[in-house]
Structure 1
């Protein structure tokens, strides 16, 4: 595995005061097509119960994955779903989405992610799209070396075993998986079809990185992930670089400042809709 760089996620707040850890790059676009990875992990309700009240997006795709606890999602398209442990949800916001994500009451705590992918300029104003896994579930494949891969989006191969998520069509051929490794376990992944490859360690540690660290590695090859003696859990995020300049302001990601101003005006005029 050729490591390009290692980044630490940093504590911050978003929504109505939710404590999260974040890795983001809206300047150099080193994570392209990914823009931001937010992790919410806490057993303290005060860290997350304020949630994410109604807010807009344009020009990005949001991907939510819950490992523990749950959120209720609502949007102006009429979708109302509880995204619980083991489920994912994807929105290709295009022209615009107004949505809310509010934590579900419970005592188990919350561990989940929201990931932003950029959209190419040609798709930024298309109608929004929505998918989730609440009805279909997500496929899981294991090996004899102590690895378990859950295909969250796209197509995967673990030690030659192919598996496909029901969520397909992410921007820039994005593919996301959760790989869990027992102590000293190994997983061989074929990344030859993708230019960009990111690994975010959410539990335990790999031999190359610890919890809350993001590895950016060279794509286009096979890689082997090896856990430390404490085991590991990591998100693997793949895709192709879009390679376009962006303009970013809050929940909007466009290609220039004029498009950002138009996004604000469209939202304020109600052209993105509202949650009933």
Structure 2
């Protein structure tokens, strides 16, 4: 359904004397139905209402719909239905949804926990970063550490830098790689320092991973027009102590900086240089 039709759906429900929360609750049996046609029609209708509440300028409606979904998640239901509802919170969840999402992180090793983690990654409220940092601190398997690190990297919130950087020394290489990737996405001065420091330790394999993400920080800075900062990293990596692959990338980066200064921020010079 198109946005204007979705808005009309909400208006029709209101005109019929139903609250939005009431209609969402009425749809709950359908969205979990074993009848595929009934399930599809129920989920389509539910999502139309959700999307309509997320229209620009309708913050009160968005928050109310998010709270209504959180209330539904307190009920008994299949994991499939629970995951589907959590995915709806990817679309409109804000600060009001965080306690519910955190609660669902306790479904460890299940699709439910992963759906909640993804919803926190997409959540518009800054408090979601703190919730994911807390989840990372409690993680006791490499798989869940990686999942939390991916979410924090996706948010690219510099407030998570310290917590993420601690995992650069993890004994599991997949965790080290995920932490490095997250710091590359965050791309703040502290994340650059953490990657630079970690490169001086560990194995050659770890250094290769960390160097790649250090280059990612430089590329992100280049895209943002932070030419001096990006150039400093590229020059640091253009050294005989680095592998040939890293040195080539560093030289390409230096060329991209010079060309980007002329073209201006936002020009995809880096891709053009790498494609040569």
Normalised by the shorter chain, which TM-score bucket? under 0.3
Higher strand share: 1
Please identify the structure whose Cα radius of gyration is greater: 2
Higher helix share: 2
Using the size of structure 1 for normalisation, the TM-score is 0.23
Structure of higher RCO (CA pairs closer than 8 Å, 6+ residues apart): 1
Using the size of structure 2 for normalisation, the TM-score is 0.23
